[in-house]
Amino acid sequence: MKTKKFLNDPDNIVKDTIDGFIKAYGDRIEKLNNSNVLIRKKRDKNKVAVIIGNGSGHEPACIGFVGSNMLTANAYGAVFAAPGPDTIYDAIEASDNGAGVCVLISNHAGDVINAKMALDMAEDDDMTCEGVILYDDIASAPKEEIHERRGTAGTLFNYKITGSYADEGHSLHEVVNMAKRVRDNTRTLTVATVPGSSPITGYKMFEIEEDEIEIGMGVHGEAAAHTMKLATAEEIAKVMCEKLIDDKPYKSGDEVAVLVNGCGQTTMMELLIFFNEVEKILNQKGMKVFKPAIGNFITTQEMGGIALAFCKLDHETKLLWAKETDAPSFSL
């Protein structure tokens, strides 16, 4: 059975989404002519730009994270597909205000290949830019192969903290180092209870048994690492927290930002109940939670599930995480 959705022509999903976005937030964000790039209207001269390229279908990511103290621009791709190198190049060219461009690249094959091509094209045209590959999903590769891990919901910490840092006026070299620092302090794990569906075909992207949940799903329905029987929020939070804490490891005395991200179908009631359990576990282990982000930030259509991510903070990154932004889809 096909999923019921509010769509027109499936071939116009991206155009219709961007048209609606610009009509809603055109006071602060504009679309480039002839390119699916969303970019801040107000761009400071001589400040490093921070951009991302991502596939559509994960809204509000990353279209809703363009704004002050966050992303300068977002190159917007087809449904669940990375934008092409030409689109990313357009985003680099338009956002370069004289101090260079930092491209944050979520570690998926298409995203990496296209971003590297765009960076080469920009460098050939004498633009100053550098890419940072983000990998935070602990289920997708062992710790010994950390560079092979996927980029998932925890990349949100980088969009916010690195974006805020760039807006302070630091050099491209410093901004790139901040992006790596945030990445290295971030870990994410996702559980799924209900499969999402493709808005193009209308069919489910994968199957989950009625009495099971999948632990370690990717944002495109990539296979999970484990399954477990459906349990209480307390029990699931315990499993997820232990895996994340062991992987970094996070220790007593650490202060962490916590992301409890709904994957599309999970309600705010569930997210708050789950966060309550996470906070208790971290508190019992001597860790302190600083300004959690709870809500639907990076989704997979109507997939039921939660992505839990931690980012270890210090005094500087705490201030950057907490800075106000006018990005349409982010607040703490």
What is the pLDDT at residue 203? 87
Please give the backbone phi and psi of residue 254, each rounded to the nearest 5 degrees, phi first: -70, 150
Instruction: With cut-offs at 50, 70 and 90, classify the pLDDT of residue 257.
Output: very high
User: What digits encode the pLDDT tens for the residues 154-208?
Assistant: 999 999 999 999 999 999 999 999 999 999 999 999 999 998 888 888 888 888 8
The residues with which 258 forms a beta bridge, in sequence order, are 310
What is the pLDDT at residue 208? 87
Please give the backbone phi and psi of residue 249, each rounded to the nearest 5 degrees, phi first: -85, 150
Catalytic residues: 58, 220
Rounded CA Rg of the chain: 19
User: What digits encode the pLDDT tens for the residues 98-156?
Assistant: 999 999 999 999 999 999 999 999 999 999 999 999 999 999 999 999 999 999 999 99
Q: Which parts of the chain are beta strand (E)?
A: 29-31, 37-40, 49-56, 73-79, 101-106, 129-134, 186-194, 212-215, 226-229, 255-262, 288-289, 293-295, 304-313
What is the pLDDT at residue 84? 97
- At residue 77, the 3 state secondary structure works out as strand
User: What's the CA gap between 102 and 120, in Å, rounded?
Assistant: 13
**Cis peptide leading into 249, omega within 30 of 0?**
yes
User: What's the CA gap between 5 and 320, in Å, rounded?
Assistant: 38
Across the chain, what does the average pLDDT equal?
Answer: 95
Mean pLDDT of 74-101: 97
User: What's the CA gap between 233 and 10, in Å, rounded?
Assistant: 36
What is the pLDDT at residue 226? 83
User: What digits encode the pLDDT tens for the residues 274-298?
Assistant: 999 999 999 999 999 999 999 999 9
Mean pLDDT of 208-217: 88
